[in-house]
Chains A and B, each alone.
Chain A
Amino acid sequence: EIVLTQSPATLSLSPGERATLACRASQSVSSSLAWYQQKPGQAPRLLIYDASNRATGIPARFSGSGSGTDFTLTISSLEPEDFAVYYCQQRSSLFTFGPGTKVDIK
């Protein structure tokens, strides 16, 4: 089973600041990694697929990078609606989610 770890668990930032979220896999997942955003009471929303491709309708301030075991989600300048929980997910070998990073308002 591929285990995903995310860091930090919580990121406290102000609107306009840059957010950098990390996801590490216990073994290589190539580029088969996605990032999701989830707000309370809502289903997850796909942001990034295949490590670096923005999903339809996702603003350009969201970007993904990495391959193999180390991945990063960057939000270039936080908007008020970006404060949420972010999950990474691999689909290289079945499916696994990371534990999430909560981005909250400082």
Chain B
Amino acid sequence: EVQLVESGGGLVQPGGSLRLSCAVSAISVSNNYMTWVRQAPGKGLEWISVIYRGGGTYYADSVKGRFTISRDNSKNTVYLQMNNLRVEDTSVYYCASWGAWGQGTLVTVSS
């Protein structure tokens, strides 16, 4: 069974940074696309980033230039580096691949 476990969320001030991690088991992050999806309180799902098997990375316009997705094949882990955070980035962040989702990690951006 595929399992994804996110960590790294928390409270951060506007303009600050956080790095989220997604530890994956049962599939290889190097052989599968891995995505990050977020959900603001009371809102719908928003796709924000993907890293493909070949290493290509793509971002939603809302985070382009501020967020960076990466992976560590040796640790079978995917990361989301989030810089210059804004209040509107407050959300639960999920990693997902091929229909399997983690439980999410909450990021709160507030002064």
Complex CA distance for A45 and B46, rounded to whole angstroms: 15
Q: Closest Cβ of chain A: how far from B56's Cβ, in Å?
A: 11
Complex CA distance for A36 and B99, rounded to whole angstroms: 9
Complex CA distance for A75 and B102, rounded to whole angstroms: 25
Residue interface mask A13-47, B partner, CB < 8 A = 1 = 00000000000000000000010101000011110
Asked if B44 CB lies within 8 Å of chain A CBs, one says yes
Q: Closest Cβ of chain B: how far from A69's Cβ, in Å?
A: 19
Best-surrounded residue of B47, B96, B99 (most CB of chain A within 10 A): B99
Q: Closest Cβ of chain B: how far from A45's Cβ, in Å?
A: 8
Knowing A43-B94, A43-B102, A46-B99 are in contact, say whether A94-B47 is a contact too (CB < 8 A).
Answer: yes
Chain A at the B interface: mostly helix, strand, loop or mixed?
Answer: strand
Interface size on B, residues (CB 8 A): 16
Asked if B45 CB lies within 8 Å of chain A CBs, one says yes
Asked if B84 CB lies within 8 Å of chain A CBs, one says no
A34 and B44 contact, CB distance less than 8 A: no
Q: Which chain A residues numbered 54 to 95 have a C-beta less than 8 Å away from chain B?
A: 55, 87, 89, 94-95
A34 and B35 contact, CB distance less than 8 A: no
Complex CA distance for A23 and B47, rounded to whole angstroms: 17
Interface size on A, residues (CB 8 A): 18
A43 and B101 contact, CB distance less than 8 A: yes
Q: Closest Cβ of chain A: how far from B63's Cβ, in Å?
A: 13
A49 and B101 contact, CB distance less than 8 A: no
Residue interface mask B96-110, A partner, CB < 8 A = 1 = 100111111000000
Cβ-closest chain B residue relative to A85: B44
Knowing A43-B94, A43-B104 are in contact, say whether A96-B47 is a contact too (CB < 8 A).
Answer: yes
Interface residues in chain A, defined as those with a beta carbon under 8 Å from any beta carbon in chain B: 34, 36, 38, 43-46, 49, 55, 87, 89, 94-100
